């Protein structure tokens, strides 16, 4: 009879080491956005990890929770700056493009992910930076007219011979030998 206690179905709470790894990942991700100020990056990381800790779900790794939090915060910030209602995948991409095109991390580092009042210039820069903007597609007609070529029966026969490599090679050799032979015979 097994006297050992049955294993708990509830996964153990994430260790502090796991949260530390999550913080490293968040910091890495912020730096990948070209945020340079160590103190600011540390503060943002701590804030984001703090929020992530409140959103713990069983079986979800801290790093996943942390990055979900980063995404949610960035989505909300982009929605605020870009005047969007839904913070979905396309908005995240558009927001990141706007950050890059407006050089926002370098020009307004202190406002990165800050909700509330931000400079009007920052909003203008973000909203104007849209790489997906193109002239509207006006589909035009550009269909080729079939080539009208003078096709001789000899040409068609040559085309057929081109479909079989053996015939092609033999034809080429026979023609070459014929030409050389004719020239040779004429020269004798």
Partner 1 sequence: MQLQDFDPEQLDPGVAFRRRGFVGVMVLLVLAPAVALMADLHLRTGYDGWKIVHLAIFTVLFGLLAFGALQALLGFMVARQGGDACRISTSVDWAEDRAPIRARTAVVMPVCHEDAARVMAGVRVVYESLEADGRLPDFDFFVLSDSTDPNCWVAEEVAWAALVRELGAAGRIFYRKRRVNTNRKAGNLADFCRRWGSHYRYMVVLDADSVMTGGAIVALARMMERNPGVGLIQAVPRLVNGETVFARLQQFASRLYGPVFTAGINYWQLGEANYWGHNAIIRVAPFMKHCALPELPGAGPFGGRIMSHDYVEAALMRRAGWQVWLAADVEGSFEECPANLIDFAKRDRRWLQGNLQHARLVVAPGFHPASRLHFALGIASYLASPFWLAFLVLSTAIVWRYKATGLTPLPVDSYAAQLSWRFQTEAVLLLGLTLGLLFLPKILALLDLRSRPAEVAAFGGWSRLTGGIFMETVLFTLLAPVLMLFHTKFILLTLLRRSVGWKTQRRGRDGASDWRECVSTHAGHTALGVSWLALAWWISPMLAAWMSPILAGLILSIPVSYFTGCAGPGLALKRAHFLQTPEESAPPEELARLEARLASSGGRRVPSPAEDAGLLEAVTDPYVNAIHLSQLRAKDEPLPANEVRFAVLRERLLREGPAALLARDKLALMQDADSMSRLHRMLWAAPAEELAAGWRRVLERQGAEEARAPVIRHGARVAAVENRIWR
Residues that bind partner 1 (CB under 8 A): 21, 25, 27-29, 31-36, 61, 63-64, 67-68, 71, 89-90, 92-97, 99-101, 103, 105-106, 128-135, 137-151, 155-156, 159, 162-163, 165, 168-169, 172, 182-188
Instruction: Write down the number of H helices and E strands in the chain.
Output: 8, 0
In the bound state with partner 1, the residue whose beta carbon lies nearer, of 40 and 118, is 40
In the bound state with partner 1, the residue whose beta carbon lies nearer, of 33 and 80, is 33
Could you identify the residue written with the tokens 């034809």?
Answer: 171
Q: Which SS3 state, helix, strand or coil, does residue 149 take?
A: coil
- Please state the closest distance from residue 118 (CB atom) to partner 1, in A: 18
Cα–Cα distance list, 31 to 11, 34, 59, 140 (Å): 32, 5, 28, 46
String of DSSP letters for 1-61: ---SPPPPSSPPPPPHHHHHHHHHHHHHHHHHTT---HHHHHHHHHHHHHHHHTT--TT--
- Please state the closest distance from residue 119 (CB atom) to partner 1, in A: 18
Tokens for 137, please give them. 């597609």
- Please state the closest distance from residue 98 (CB atom) to partner 1, in A: 9
In the bound state with partner 1, the residue whose beta carbon lies nearer, of 1 and 184, is 184
- Please state the closest distance from residue 57 (CB atom) to partner 1, in A: 13
In the bound state with partner 1, the residue whose beta carbon lies nearer, of 6 and 147, is 147
Determine whether 18 is exposed, middle or buried from the number of CB atoms within 10 Å of its CB (0-12, 13-18, 19+): middle
In the bound state with partner 1, the residue whose beta carbon lies nearer, of 1 and 132, is 132
- Please state the closest distance from residue 113 (CB atom) to partner 1, in A: 13
């Amino acid at each position: 009879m097994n006297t050992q206690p049955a294993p708990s179905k509830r996964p153990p709470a994430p260790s502090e080491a796991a949260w530390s790894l999550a913080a490293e990942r968040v910091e890495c991700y912020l730096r990948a956005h070209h945020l340079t100020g160590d103190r600011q990056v540390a503060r943002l990381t701590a804030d984001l990890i703090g929020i992530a800790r409140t959103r713990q779900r069983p079986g979800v790794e801290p790093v996943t929770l942390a990055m979900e939090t980063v995404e949610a915060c960035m989505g909300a910030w982009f929605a605020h700056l870009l005047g969007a209602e839904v913070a979905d995948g396309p908005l995240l991409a558009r927001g990141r493009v706007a950050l890059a095109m407006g050089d926002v991390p370098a020009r307004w580092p202190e406002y990165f992910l800050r909700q509330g009042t931000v400079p009007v210039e920052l909003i203008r820069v973000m909203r104007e930076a849209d790489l997906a903007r193109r002239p509207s597609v006006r589909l035009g007609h550009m269909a080729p007219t079939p080539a009208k070529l003078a096709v001789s029966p000899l040409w068609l026969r040559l085309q057929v011979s081109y479909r079989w490599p053996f015939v092609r090679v033999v034809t080429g050799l026979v023609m070459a030998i014929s030409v050389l032979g004719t020239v040779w015979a004429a020269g004798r």
